[in-house]
Structure formats: structure tokens, C-alpha cells
């Protein structure tokens, strides 16, 4: 079983719709979770972090965490073509030393 | 004013050569990392240094040797390059090594082995 799993996509949504990206992880001791956005040919850029169960909202982005189910998600409201990118879920391993374990990423395509 | 800068941006070289990639951060962070992103876009940690001390050393061939002269710099030297080393190598930094501080990435070095 992979440590952090994501559907590779592509996830195709129309402009203005809600995009829903999902991630599951295997390390029950993990306490910190991150979503990075990576445009093609560019570096990963942090867009959300979440540490407690529930929802965390930042602008058009909402991260959701359910530690009991080992599940993290990212919702993007009012999706724009500029949101088209690969979204990487990252989980901080419970072994310390800020070791981030990344999923393979979900490619999101927002079409006009 | 780039926060995490890597050089070179592109590196094309022959199999068997030795090459180095340099990374510098001006964020005042005390922890730096090297990641490898392969052709399938899977991003995997290789090494991490905290205040010049090696703290993460994943299963990486010993042809790869990181060096941190100070906490603002982390270089990666690769000996006897192989075809499988072709990838994008990202440097990153964060404040602290055991907490929840986010990591900031450089623009990457695209290494192509001929």
C-alpha cells in the first residue's frame, strides 16, 4: 500500500464548478497535512495546511481532514482555468524531522 | 529576491560524468532538503539537513552526496551519472525540523543524462 494515495486524474471540471480532490494516507500517527499546487514545469507551491479534524477555509480553497478515516480533501470553489495544475497531497510522517511524504498528485483541468 | 534558488536550472550531461547542483535560501530557515521528481511526477525526499547536520538520508545510491557548508546552503554532488538519474531535483527549506512548518521549494534543476 502506498503511503499517500491520490487519484492521478485528470479531473476535468467546467469553469465556475467545485473541484474536489481526495487523498488517503497510511500513517495513523501523522498530524500535519498539506496541499501543494504544481503548474507544469514549475515548483510545488504550498496552498493549504491543515492539522485538526474538520474544515479549514482560505478564499476559494477548503481543506477537509478526517484522521479517523485517514482522509484529506481539497475543495476549490468557483474553479478557474488558472487553477489547472497538478495538486499534490503531502503528509508529515510521524517519525519526525519534517519528513514530507507526497502523493503522486491529481491533475486538474478546468475548461471554459 | 528569490527565496530558494538553485543552479543550474538545466543540466544536460553524458552518462558517467560527475556533476553538482547548488542551492541557497535567504529565508533564514535552518532546515534544507533535496527532493527528486521523476518522469511520473512523483516527488520523493532524498536528504535533509538541519543546521548543517544530516537528519534525513533516504535510500539513495551513495553516488549522491549532499554537503551543507552553512545553514543557508545545501549542495548535491552526483558521481558516475546514470540514465536513471534523469529527473527534476528540487531543493526546499523550512524553519525547524520536527514541527509543522511548511517547506518552500526552489524552481528545480532539470537533469538529463544522454
**In chain B, helix, strand, coil percent, each to 5?**
5, 55, 40
Provide the shortest C-alpha distance from residue A9 to chain B (in Å): 13
Q: Give B45's strand partners.
A: B35
Task: Check pLDDT > 70 for residue B100.
Answer: no
Mean pLDDT by 10 residues, chain A (112 residues): 85 97 94 94 93 96 96 97 96 80 95 93
A25 inside 8 A of chain B by CB: no
Distance between CA atoms of residues A11 and A9, nearest Å: 5
Decide if B104 and A46 are in contact by the 8 Å CB cutoff. yes
CA angle (A65 as vertex; B95, A85 as ends), nearest 5: 70
Task: Check pLDDT > 70 for residue B99.
Answer: no
> Mean pLDDT, to the nearest integer, of B30-57?
90
> Mean pLDDT, to the nearest integer, of B52-59?
86
Instruction: State the best of B43, B54, B58, B106 to mutate against chain A, taking most chain A CBs within 10 Å.
Output: B43
Convert the pLDDT of each residue in A2-26 to its tens digit: 699 998 889 999 999 999 999 999 9
- Pull the grid cell for residue B2: 528569490
Distance between CA atoms of residues B17 and B13, nearest Å: 7
CA angle (A98 as vertex; B104, B44 as ends), nearest 5: 70
Q: Residue A2's closest CA among A19, A38, A26?
A: A26
Instruction: State the best of A98, A101, A108 to mutate against chain B, taking most chain B CBs within 10 Å.
Output: A98
* Pick from A51, A99, A104: CB nearest B40: A104
Residue B85: the pLDDT is 95
Decide if A98 and B97 are in contact by the 8 Å CB cutoff. yes
DSSP state of A83: G
> Mean pLDDT, to the nearest integer, of B31-57?
90
Residues 43-72 of A with CB under 8 A from B: 43-46, 49, 51
Amino acid at each position: 500500500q502506498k503511503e499517500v494515495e491520490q487519484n492521478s486524474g485528470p479531473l476535468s471540471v467546467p469553469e465556475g464548478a467545485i473541484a474536489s480532490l481526495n487523498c488517503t494516507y497510511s500513517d495513523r500517527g501523522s498530524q500535519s497535512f498539506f496541499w501543494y499546487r504544481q503548474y507544469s514545469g514549475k515548483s510545488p507551491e504550498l496552498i493549504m495546511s491543515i492539522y485538526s479534524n474538520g474544515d479549514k477555509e482560505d478564499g476559494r480553497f477548503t481543506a477537509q481532514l478526517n484522521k479517523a478515516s485517514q482522509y484529506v480533501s481539497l475543495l476549490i470553489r468557483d474553479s478557474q482555468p488558472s487553477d489547472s495544475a497538478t495538486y499534490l497531497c503531502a503528509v508529515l510522517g510521524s517519525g519526525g524531522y519534517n519528513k514530507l511524504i507526497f502523493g503522486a498528485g491529481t491533475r486538474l483541468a478546468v475548461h471554459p | 529576491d528569490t527565496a530558494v534558488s538553485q543552479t543550474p536550472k538545466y543540466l544536460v550531461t553524458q552518462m558517467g560524468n560527475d556533476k553538482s547542483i547548488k542551492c541557497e535560501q535567504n529565508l533564514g530557515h535552518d532546515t534544507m532538503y533535496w527532493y527528486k521528481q521523476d518522469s511520473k511526477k512523483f516527488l520523493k525526499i532524498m536528504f535533509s539537513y538541519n543546521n548543517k547536520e544530516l537528519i534525513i538520508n533516504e535510500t539513495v545510491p551513495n553516488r549522491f552526496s549532499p554537503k551543507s557548508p552553512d545553514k543557508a546552503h545545501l549542495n548535491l554532488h552526483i558521481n558516475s551519472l546514470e540514465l536513471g538519474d534523469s529527473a527534476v531535483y528540487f531543493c526546499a527549506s523550512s524553519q525547524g525540523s520536527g514541527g509543522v512548518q511548511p517547506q518552500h521549494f526552489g524552481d528545480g534543476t532539470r537533469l538529463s543524462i544522454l
